[in-house]
Structure formats: C-alpha cells, structure tokens
Structure 1
Amino acid sequence: MISTSPLPDGISWVHNAAGKAFVEIEHSNVRARVALEGAHLVSCIPSGQADLLWMSPCDAQAPGGVLRGGVPLCWPWFGNSRSGPAHGIARRSLWQLTAAERDEQSVRLRLELPATTQHDALPDESWALSLELQLGTSLQMTLTSRNTGRRAQTLSQALHTYLPVSDISEVRVAGLNGATYLDQLSGSHQVQQGDLMIEREVDRIYLQHSQPIYLSDGQRTLEICRSGSASVVLWNPWQDKARKLDNFPADGYRTMLCIEAANAAADSRTLQPGEHHSLGCSIRQI
C-alpha cells in the first residue's frame, strides 16, 4: 500500500514500465530500490561500488509476480517445509511502508505486513511482521516476527539474498571451514573442508554456524554477517537447473550465488505468546 504521507528528500515512489510500485532511494552514499510487493529489495548500490545484489536481467518485474534476485523474504516457512506456496507468504504479499528516515550517512525504511493479509493467508496464526532496512555504505536488513497469538507458534525463514559475482568459477567462500551442512541434493550431512569453491549445483544448509562469511570473486570481497541466525543457506542452481527456472537466464548461474541468513532445518524457532525474534544480515564490501 502506498502511503500519502510526504517522504524525506531523496526517497520517492516510482513505478517501472510494467506498473510495479517501488520505493526509490537517491542518497549521496547509496542508490537503492525496494518493491512493495514482498518488501523486496532489488538493488543496493553504495557510492563508488557495484550493486551488492544480483537481479535477473530477464525478469520483467511485473506486478503480481515473484521477483528473481535481490532479497526475497522467505516467511513463515523456508522451502517446502509446510503446505502452501514455496517459501511462505511474505514474498507474495503487498507490504506497507510505515517509516522512512534519512541522515547524512544512510536511509532507514520500515515495512510491515498488514495483519489482515496475514489472517487471510494464515487464519490459524497471529503474527506481527516487520522489515527494517538501513541503506548506506553497507546494507543492513532485520526481519522481526512477534507472536501476537495465544499459543506457541513455529517459524522457519530466510533472507534469500542473491549476490553478484564476476564469474562463478573464480568464487571462493571463506568462513565455513569445519561447519556441518545438510546437502539438500543428497540428504546427507557433511563437514566443510577449507574454503568453498563452486564447481557444480550447490544447495546446502550450514548448521550451528553464526560467524562472518566472505565471498570473493577475484574483483572484490563481500563480508556477510548475520544475527539471530544459526543456519545459513548457500545455493547456486548450476547449468541444468538454470534452464528450468522462471525469469532466469540460461547462463545466470555464472554470475550469482545465494548466501542466505536463515532459521532453517534444525534452526527453526518456536515463539511463545508475546515473544519476538529478529533475523538480521549485513553486507559490505571490504
């Protein structure tokens, strides 16, 4: 829902050629764009840097569709862990912008998923859900869930972040050495040995892990830090699956890697009435 309240300078409403509504940020330290559908951050470009996020060049970003790239919000379930749409309802719903501020360093946005939207999709649950974004020389995202019901409620979730790389063959991911992961392709648990290099399809949930992760591609290094997260998802569809994905170029797997702050698999969270949980992620070039 588009608010009629005035926005600070450099923060504006725009519609793309397909008619999809976005909040657009023009600041001395950053340019960014967020879709109201899904509270979906599609671009974050700190001054003097390349975009921190990857978006599919063949996605028309039309209204009513799930975007391919940026930061889809998986909530209140990750993957197909519950019946219903893959990755839950948040990325398919229309959010409200409830706060927008700027100062010399950054822009801060707060978006909320309306209670009526949640009730229509999840009539047996009661949540308050918000996303806070701080956009500047780095990117910070915080997804907060509060149990507003009268019984315990369980959620799994992820900030499904697509990160750009110059070429997947040059990628090295540090910070995972010694971590146990669930290989979702084989169903087995394995232990990461050394840095990760991507040479085939990857679909993994690293467990009991909370340390920073470093993504290097020979041209720059991104630091990914998480909070409220003891699991992290790494995903690249590789060549065969890339051809089957909607709004994804056949060679798109070569220029992206998802590294997702998550509460997935054994890291799902159960909140008692009145309790809240915040899943956070920050990304910066170092």
Structure 2
Amino acid sequence: MGFVTTKKHANGLEYVDISTPHCKARIFLQGAQIDYFEPTGKKPLLWVSTADDYQPGIGIRGGVPVCWPWFGMSSTPGFPQHGFARTRIWTLDSVKMNEDAVEIKLSLPLTDNDREFWPHNTSVEMSFRLNETLSISITNINHADYDVSLTQALHSYFPIEDIHQLKATGFEGANYIEFAKGPFPQAQDHVDFTRETDRVYTELATTQALHTVDGVIEVSRENSKSAVLWNPWIDKSQRLSRFNDDDYLTMVCLEAANVLDDKVTLAPNESHTLTTHIRWK
C-alpha cells in the first residue's frame, strides 16, 4: 500500500511525503503546493529550479503554485502578484489511501491580515488525487449573501529537457493575449518556442500535450476555458528571482486557469471546482 507521512524540510517548511506502488510525491502545506510527482517507472512530471532554497514565506519556483484569489497583478497597488494563497500555511484536512490512489485535502484558514486582501466570506479547498495520474483541484465556495468574482490558476511547471525541441499541441481554434496585446487567433494546432512566450489562451480545448524529448505530457482541465502558456526565455530568466539564467531551457508552464472572460463568479452558496489532470501519455 505504501505510506503517507508528514515531514519537515531543512528550512522548516512542513510537507506531506507520499510513496505508493503508483507514485512518489511531496506536497507542502505552505501554498498547498506540490513540488514533486513521479509515477512509478517513469520520470518526474514536475520541474523546480535548483536556485530555489525553499524559504518560508516565499512561494516555491516550480511544482504547481496556487494563484488565488487573483491571477497576475491585482488591480489594487501593492497587493501581491498572483494573490496570497501560495505563501500561506494551509491546513491538512484529510488523507485517504486505497489500492487505486491517494487522496489528500487541504483548506486555507483566512486570517485578519488576509481579509485586507480578500474581505469576502468564501472558503477555498485544495484536493490531490495521486496514482499514475496527478489530479489537482481547487474549490471555491461563496458563503456571502452577494456575488463574488475571482480569477485563479494552477501554475504548473513541467520538465521538458530542451525548449528548442518542445512542441505544444492542442491549441487550434483558441484565441490568446500576449504582452497585453490581442486577442490573436491561434491558427495552428501547435506552438513552437523561439522567444519569450507568455500567452493567456481563451476558449481553449480541454486537453493539450507537451511533446518533449522524454515523451508526451498530457495536460487536461475541467471547468476551465482558459490556460496560460509561459517560458521566460533568455532576458527575463536573468531578472527572475530563484531562477537560474539557463533554466528556461528545461521548463515550460502550462497552467489550468479561470482568467479574463473565464473568471469565476459565484452566487450566494454556489461553489466552483477547477481541476487539472497531468500524466505521461
């Protein structure tokens, strides 16, 4: 059956350590952030920069950071980019393990300081289902007596060995905005990488694939019509924190999202769950 235990990183961050016949994985309570997932007999499916030293209070540069309750820059000056959930300590609510999979659920208790950024009476939960496939869900519930809107993303970093040989497919028919310009129609099904790429896709099909040197990574989404495709390339890599100058060569982000016209608006007592599924195809 394997085991699921809680451990502490050398720098003090607590995490859930998972080892089963299906996979090995690690999920940090800070940010409810999974940074390692390796299906049995296959290579790891998530990328983390070797420049990151796992400091408390700082989101990990890799794995799957949680962008909530907004994606990108806030409309309020001084608010943290991509929200505050990725630097907060989440509560481990439950662990269930059977022959098929491990299921782990976490929730985010909002403090008085958090209410400065998010004054709404909502709750947010993260759930992970792990076997040969990694499934990650974020669920929002509106307990207020008025509508609440938010944007969010599961900011997945993938190892791709060589960006020059990467081909991303499954994009035909969508539109994208890049560097605050667009929308542009995606005429081809595939995307190649020859420069900085920072595209927010809308009306996107539910499944994409990353054709890498090591195989094909399939990324699919539920309750999402938007996704982000990102590689910082050369110049931006030199400006990023906790990121080596040459890291752009071995990573790409393909993020399940609810952004732009795909934002989440919850009526009173309504809930919404965004899910991404990640596997070697």
Q: Equivalents in 1 of 2:173, 2:219: separation in Å?
A: 18
After TM superposition, the structure 1 = structure 2 runs for residues 118-129 of structure 1, keeping only pairs within 5 Å, are 120-122=115-117, 124-129=119-124
Structure 1: segments with no counterpart, 5+ residues: 1-7
Residue type of the alignment partner of 1:93? R
How far apart are residue 249 of structure 1 and its match?
0.7
Q: Which residue of 2 aligns with 1:252?
A: 247
Percentage identity across paired residues of the two chains: 36
Q: In the superposition, relative to structure 1, how do residues 201 and 279 fare at CA in structure 2: closer, same or farther (>3 Å)? A: same
Identify which of 27, 43, 68 aligns with 2:36.
43
- What's the CA shift for 1:132? 0.6
Amino acid in structure 1 at the alignment position of 2:98 = D
Alpha-carbon distance in structure 1 between the residues aligned to 2:2 and 2:22: 14
Amino acid at match of 1:179: A
Deviation at 1:192, TM superposition (A): 1.6
Shift of 1:20: 1.3
> Matched residues in 2 for 1:114 and 1:124: separation?
13
Consecutive unaligned residues in structure 2, runs of 5 or more: none
Q: Is the 8 A contact 1:210 1:229 kept in 2?
A: no
Q: Deviations over 1:236-259 (max 9, x none)?
A: 111100011110010000101100
1:214 touches 1:221 (CA, 8 Å); kept in 2? Answer: yes
Match of 1:267 in 2: 262
2:172–2:187 Cα contact (<8 Å) kept:
yes
Say which of 82, 90, 98 aligns to 1:95.
90
- What TM-score, normalized to structure 2? 0.95
| Residue matched to 1:192 | 186
- Matched residue of 2:191: which SS? coil
Report the TM-score when normalising by structure 1.
Answer: 0.93
Residue 11 of structure 2 corresponds to which residue in structure 1?
18
- Out of 244, 258, 283, the residue aligned to residue 278 of structure 2 is 283
112-121 vs 193-202, greater mean Cα deviation: 112-121
Which shifted more, 31-40 or 15-24? 15-24
- 8 Å contact 1:118–1:127 — kept in the other structure? no
Matched residues in 2 for 1:176 and 1:215: separation?
11
In the alignment, residue 74 of structure 1 is paired with which amino acid?
C
Runs of 4+ in 1 over 3 A off after TM superposition: 115-123
Pairwise CA distance, 1:219:
2.3
Inter-partner Cα distance in structure 2 for 1:274 and 1:225: 27
Alpha-carbon contact 2:174-2:205 (below 8 Å) kept: no
Give, in whole Å, the separation in 1 of the partners of 2:21 and 2:71. 36
User: What is the aligned partner in structure 1 of residue 59 from structure 2?
Assistant: 66
- Check 1:222–1:56 CA distance in 2 against 1; reply closer, same or farther (3 A cut): same
Q: CA offsets per residue over residues 135-160 of structure 1, 9 Å max, x none?
A: 11010011000011121110000000
Instruction: Give the corresponding residue for 1:202.
Output: 197
Q: What RMSD in Å do the two structures reach over aligned CA positions? A: 1.5
- Give the deviation of 1:50 after TM superposition: 1.0
**Secondary structure of the structure 1 residue equivalent to 2:141:** strand
Which residue number corresponds to residue 236 of structure 2? 241
Return the alpha-carbon distance in structure 1 between the equivalents of residues 74 and 168 of structure 2. Answer: 27
User: Which amino acid in 1 is paired with 2:148?
Assistant: Q
Q: Deviations over 1:190-236 (max 9, x none)?
A: 12232101111011111111321011013200111100101010011
